[in-house]
Amino acid sequence: MLDKCVDAAVRKIFRVSQSDNCAFIRTCQRLYHIEDFVRKRTVKFMYNLVTKQFPNYVVQINLSELSDFND
pLDDT score at 2: 85
Residue type, 34: I
Distance CA 51, CA 29 (A): 34
pTM above 0.75, yes or no: no
Q: Tell me: the pLDDT tens digits for 41-67?
A: 888 888 888 777 766 555 455 555 555
Q: Domain residue spans in the chain?
A: 1-32, 33-71
What pLDDT is attached to residue 60? 56
Classify the C-alpha dihedral 43-44-49-52 as positive or negative. positive
C-alpha torsion angle, residues 56, 40, 42, 39 (rounded to 10): -140
Average pLDDT over residues 1-18: 89
